């Protein structure tokens, strides 16, 4: 059965049922931020007015700082230990927005390809069942429909949920999703009207969003043509070269590896890193191939809209969540930049 229905009155019971199978995470308010965190029950989550989390949920699979291994001197020997974080517990994450789930699929392609597989990402990712929440009221800064996605995009999700008012409609999309929902006592078969309501909701949400830019010309131009455009100087002018855009972005995935050593041992840690920082590309010689902010700002947009599509069969490296639009301190708006690239 593809579709199921959950009366909102039974949400607490439903979450308990999930908790019998695995740990459950949901969007939780922590101070001014909303973030995904373990919940003890339905009372912990507040979906009223929930738009999206402040930070992208990539941190669940790709934490800002992650211990890769530890090492210590023990007697005559020096030993290396694998960190336990690499062996995560099973969990279900509920309330993931479709844009963020799509971002996971993009990162899957990067962290697992024909050359290597990143076990730190994959082990945590494999242990998670993603229950998405379709967007019925996209924000003014959202632009998913301009980057090959839409407010009910199912890419990367195991279950899609739509808010029908009195009920939630659940659509299982994968084996993992079906397993999570199997055996529930509160899920019911939906009526034809429920499914129709879901389809209307989906259509209305998509129609509510205007397509703000295309990528045809970006695709048609060569790397060198785009790279040599004059506008990069102007785009970069206000940039402060902070890392806000990269750190809040669901698809930015660059990292730096540091050995943190203290006395006879230490840890090898990988930390998020940003191409906005001069230190990201500086060589040991002191030479920096991206010496100024023009080169750094250009890199971020070229990576998302040219390099990733070239390497990954046209997949755009941006999902239109709009976090960078909202949080960039100087209002460098990615939508305006891509419009220029596509002009």
If you count them, how many residues does the chain have? 343
Nearer to other proteins, 304 or 323 (CB): 323
Binders of other proteins among 100-159, rule CB under 8 A?
139-141
Nearer to other proteins, 103 or 248 (CB): 248
Neighbours of 37 (CB within 10 A): 15
Smallest distance from the beta carbon of 281 to other proteins, in angstroms? Answer: 13
Nearer to other proteins, 174 or 326 (CB): 326
- Residue 244 lies near other proteins (rule: CB under 8 A): yes
Q: Choose which of 191, 200, 204, 331 interacts with other proteins (CB under 8 A).
A: 331
CA distance 150 to 25: 24
- Residue 289 lies near other proteins (rule: CB under 8 A): no
Smallest distance from the beta carbon of 39 to other proteins, in angstroms? Answer: 19
Strand order in the sheet with 265-272: 77-82, 65-74, 265-272, 255-262
Structure tokens at 263: 């006395």
Neighbours of 212 (CB within 10 A): 15
CA distance 224 to 340: 16
Binders of other proteins among 8-67, rule CB under 8 A?
31-33, 49, 51, 54-55, 63-65
Nearer to other proteins, 221 or 335 (CB): 335
- The residues with which 341 forms a beta bridge, in sequence order, are none
Smallest distance from the beta carbon of 149 to other proteins, in angstroms? Answer: 20
Instruction: Confirm if 285 and 84 have CB atoms less than 8 A apart.
Output: no
Neighbours of 149 (CB within 10 A): 22
- Residue 243 lies near other proteins (rule: CB under 8 A): yes
Q: Is 243 left (phi over 0), alpha (psi -120 to 50) or beta?
A: alpha
The binding site for other proteins (CB under 8 A) comprises: 31-33, 49, 51, 54-55, 63-65, 139-141, 234, 237-238, 240-244, 246-248, 256, 258, 260, 269, 271, 274, 277-279, 325-327, 329-333, 335-336
């Amino acid at each position: 059965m593809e579709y199921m229905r959950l009366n909102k009155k039974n949400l607490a019971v439903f979450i308990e049922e999930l908790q019998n199978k695995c740990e459950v995470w949901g969007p939780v308010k922590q101070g001014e931020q909303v973030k995904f965190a373990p919940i003890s029950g339905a009372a912990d989550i507040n979906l009223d007015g929930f738009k999206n989390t402040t930070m992208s949920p990539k941190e669940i699979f790709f934490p800002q700082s992650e211990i890769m291994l530890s090492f210590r001197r023990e007697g005559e020997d020096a030993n290396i230990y694998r960190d336990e974080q690499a062996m995560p517990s099973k969990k279900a994450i509920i309330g993931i927005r479709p844009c963020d789930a799509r971002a996971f699929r993009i990162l899957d392609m990067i962290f697992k390809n024909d050359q290597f597989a990143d076990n730190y990402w994959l082990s945590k990712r494999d242990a998670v069942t993603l229950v998405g929440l379709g967007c019925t009221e996209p924000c003014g800064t959202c632009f998913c429909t301009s980057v090959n996605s839409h407010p009910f995009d199912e890419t990367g999700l195991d279950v899609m949920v739509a808010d029908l008012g009195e009920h939630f409609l659940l659509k299982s999309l994968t084996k993992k999703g079906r397993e999570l929902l199997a055996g529930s006592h509160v899920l019911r078969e939906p009526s034809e009207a429920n499914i129709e309501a879901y389809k209307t909701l989906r259509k209305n949400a998509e129609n509510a969003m205007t397509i703000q830019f295309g990528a045809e010309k970006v695709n048609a131009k060569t790397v060198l043509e785009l790279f040599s455009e004059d506008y990069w100087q102007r785009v970069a002018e206000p940039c402060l070269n902070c890392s806000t855009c990269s750190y809040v972005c669901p698809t930015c995935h660059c990292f730096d590896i540091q050995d943190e050593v203290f006395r006879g041992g230490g840890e090898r840690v990988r930390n998020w890193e940003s191409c906005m920082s001069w230190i990201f590309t500086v060589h040991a010689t002191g030479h920096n191939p991206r010496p100024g902010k023009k080169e750094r700002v250009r890199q971020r947009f070229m990576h998302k809209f040219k390099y990733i599509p070239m390497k990954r069969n046209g997949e755009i490296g941006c999902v239109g969540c709009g976090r960078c639009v909202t949080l960039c301190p100087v209002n460098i708006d990615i939508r305006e930049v891509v419009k220029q690239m596509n002009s």
